[in-house]
Amino acid sequence: MITRATLLQQSCHHQEQALSPEALGESLAALPDWVVEHGKLVRTFSFKDYHQTIRFVNAIASVVHQQDHHPVLVVSYNRCIVRMNTHSVNGGLSENDFICAAKFDDVYQHEFS
């Protein structure tokens, strides 16, 4: 069973296969704030102002660097939209997307909630 805790304990590694529909469903259940839109894993994080938004972007930048898995970030005054997929699985979703999503959620929960 995939849980947020198990995802947080993992690190990204090279992926060659997208998640199966069953694994995708389990992963989404573990991270209920995330959705799949147009084949990408997506979440909008909300903040009180631009400074907090940029602090979040900088905080997850270290996660991105450590995991070597790079999302698309759309930054505005009081929110950051994160979109991820895995290029090595032909733009599908892999375990790496969910590992990073769990780590981003952890940053948000501990520093911004």
- Position of tokens 């929110």? 79
Residue 37 in tokens: 């839109």
pLDDT at 86: 96
- First-residue to last-residue Cα distance in the chain: 27
Segments making up each domain of the chain, as ranges: 36-112
The CA distance from 6 to 106, in Å, is: 13
Model confidence, pTM? 0.96
Q: What is the mean pLDDT of each run of 10 residues along the chain (113 residues)?
A: 96 95 97 98 98 98 97 98 96 97 98 88
Could you say which of 3.30.930.10, 3.30.1360.20, 2.40.30.10, 3.90.280.10 is the CATH number of the domain covering 36-112? Answer: 3.30.1360.20
